[in-house]
Amino acid sequence: MAKVIFILSTGRCSTQFLARLLTKGDANTLVVHEGAGPNFKPAQVFRNTNFEKVLAETHQLQDLFGQIDTQLASGGRFIETGWPAYGWGPYLQKRYGDEFGFVHLLRNPFATAASMTTHALLGDGDDTLSKHGIIRPHIKGVLYPGFQSDYAEFSYFERGLYHWLEVHSFLLDQSHGSSFLGLFRFEDLYKADSAAIRDLWAKCGFDPDKFQELPAYDQFNARARRGYAMKNKKLLTLVWDLAQRLGYSDDLLQRWSDVDFLSDYFNKIRVPRTRPRVR
């Protein structure tokens, strides 16, 4: 059984809620959400071998890995749910070997990009998250560098779609290894009487009979501030094709790619529910 588990995603997939849920698992497991925050700097290690360099320069990462090592030395387990860790899978596999496992968590691309847009995660700011958290086509090693000339004209929504495309292509590439624990879609986790969320609980090493329901939780709620323009047809085709490979139907993608539907959905007043409604 894996002792160091990372739930890897693009973000906006209810990772805060999952951290709170998994904290109820057992006293021997330490669960954190974004243990190094934006200082995971995933864009600096994405599809390359810069891990040791970034680790040496980032005390927050040093502290986190020290925390993991201490937890293992005491006979415990460690789970990280935070999305900025998405680039660290290869390093974690090398460092922890058979003790490492990861869950591939995703949400449909249009909801993900819209939610990132509402939370202003896709700008060109000087903060660490803006500079090193989002995948852009000029980063060395990306799968689709051909969008460099188009990126300046991308809407923020299209930037979110590009980030989704690169991150989930990367995570899919890693799913053939022994550390892969499973793929979970946000939409499946939060269906009524969902078997998927119980399966995720079990994949994280917890007793299925001790699964606990929790109320909705999303610390950061925001309404849409920008539109959802989708002008780049090549990007849309690539995103759509990957989403289908990852289990999304044409009907769901058609519904969520409708601009009017997105605008209505992400501008509604939030109402807490038994299942999380993460916007």
Q: If pLDDT is split at 50, 70 and 90, which confidence band does 275 have? A: very low
Kindly report, residue by residue over 106-126, the tens digit of the pLDDT: 999 999 999 988 877 777 777
Cα angle value 26/98/67 (rounded, 5°):
55
In a domain, 104, yes or no: yes
In a domain, 271, yes or no: no
In a domain, 272, yes or no: no
Domain at 139, CATH number = 3.40.50
In a domain, 254, yes or no: yes
Range of the domain at 193: 4-265
pLDDT at 263: 86
pLDDT at 272: 47
In a domain, 275, yes or no: no
For range 68-78, the mean pLDDT:
98
Q: Is-contact 24 212, C-beta < 8 A?
A: yes
Q: Say what the pTM is.
A: 0.92
More confident: 145 or 123: 145
In a domain, 169, yes or no: yes
Kindly report, residue by residue over 155-213, the tens digit of the pLDDT: 999 999 999 999 999 999 999 999 999 999 999 998 887 899 999 999 999 999 999 88
Q: Which of 45-49, 77-81, 175-179, 265-269 is predicted least confidently? A: 265-269
Number of domains composing the chain: 1
In a domain, 174, yes or no: yes
Amino acid occupying residue 51: F
